[in-house]
Each structure stands twice: as structure tokens, then as C-alpha cells.
Amino acid sequence: MSPERDLILFADRLLDPDAELELMERLEADPDLQLQRALIAPTPVPDMTPPRWRIPPPGTGWQLGAARLQAPMVMNHRRDVTVGRRFQLQISAVPRPEARQVVILRRLPGSDWEVISPQRPGQQVPLDRLTQADGGWELNLMATGPAGPQRWAIALPDTDMDVDWDASPEVRWAPLRDALSRGQVPAATAHITVQDR
């Protein structure tokens, strides 16, 4: 086989064990082969699967009383967000805050949105119970792992939204997911990057 073909098979972990061991020995001794390997190393393919939840990207919102989130404010002396540290999102003014509840979602790379809060009956929080600031509201959150980029979202459905707490999370949040996709619920997102401690 050609060295280039061997390197491609090696990068994809398709060489048989004896050939892989032989190639590793050749790589240790041959700088040109090392350079060739670096040039054909596989590039990770990003996950292009669209999320089932249709939530507007950061800096935008739905026209129906669009919520906006300001850039996260880190509540420590450093500008990074480490696991276990608190950060703050500021929600702009929306119509009828007393009739809206706060639903917090998070999305990790390669996964779909998951509802962080509320998790059970009695945990719903009306928007107007949050701390007011600059004509909007402040929401204090805690950064959770894993480390890396994360998107957080705030959805503001009506407080009388029917939630079937006995159903699986998939079924429980289907009405909210559908309402968000039709633009019937104000929502906004923000990016954070979480660092290990």
C-alpha cells in the first residue's frame, strides 16, 4: 500500500493491528511522514442536525412581544464562566409580565434543547417575580458542565399553559415546543462558554 493510503486508513482507525503498529514505528522515525499525516488528519464533522425546538438565535426574538437577553454578566472577578459559578441574564420588557412564566432551556453542542426549569409542579415562576432592572428583569443562573460552548434560552409562555407533569419530558413540553415554532411565545437565547474549575 502507499504511505498516503496507510495514513488515511490509520486516521480512520481502519488498519489491522499489525499494520497500525508498523505505521506508528515508521511515523516515529520519519518527520516527512509525520507532516504528511498532519495534512490528512480527519477534520471533525460538525453536527448539522437541526434542533426540534425552534428558538430564535441570540440577539433576535419573535415579533409577538419579543424577549431579548443581554449578554451574560458573570458574577465573579473573572470574565469566564466556570462550572458552579453564577451568571446573570437580563430579560427585556415584554407585555403582560404578570401573565407569563419563565421556562429555562439549555442546549449543548450535538444535542437538542432540554428544559432546565421548571422540573416539577410548583416550580413555575411568574416573570414579574424576578428582580426588576433597567425596565426588564434579572435572572441569576448557575453554570453547569460539561465545559465548552452552551446556549441558554428563556421562553415566556402564559402562566395558564397546560403542562402534563405525569407525561415524559418529550410529551410534557410538546405544547411549548409547538407554540415556540409558531411564534406564539416570547423567547430569547444567549451563548456562554463554560470552563472547568
Say yes or no: 107 and 163 in one domain.
Answer: yes
Query: Element (H or E) spanning 123, and its range?
Result: none
Say yes or no: 91 and 137 in one domain.
Answer: yes
Read off the pLDDT of each residue in 149-165 and give the average, rounded to a whole number: 89
pLDDT higher than 80, residue 125? yes
Q: Is residue 28 part of a domain?
A: yes
Helix (H, G, I), strand (E, B) or coil at 90: strand
Closest CA to 83 of 130, 150, 139, 137: 150
Q: How many domains does the chain have?
A: 2
Closest CA to 146 of 75, 190, 84, 103: 84
Say yes or no: 15 and 96 in one domain.
Answer: no
Say yes or no: 86 and 174 in one domain.
Answer: yes
Q: Is residue 61 part of a domain?
A: no
Q: What is the CA radius of gyration of the chain?
A: 23
CATH of the domain at 128: 2.70.50.50
Answer with the residue of higher pLDDT: 102 or 28. Answer: 102
The residue range of the domain holding 32 is 3-40
pLDDT higher than 50, residue 75? no
Q: pTM score, two decimals?
A: 0.66
Q: Is residue 182 part of a domain?
A: yes
Q: Is residue 50 part of a domain?
A: no
Q: Please check whether residue 105 is in contact with residue 115, taking contact to mean a CB–CB distance below 8 angstroms.
A: yes
Q: 3-class secondary structure for 103-165?
A: EEEEECCCCCCEEEECCCCCCCEEHHHCEEECCEEEEEEECCCCCEEEEEEEECCECCCCCCC
In tens, the pLDDT along 6-42 reads 887 777 667 777 777 788 888 888 888 887 877 775 5
- Strand-pairing partners, residue 150, are 192
Say yes or no: 85 and 171 in one domain.
Answer: yes
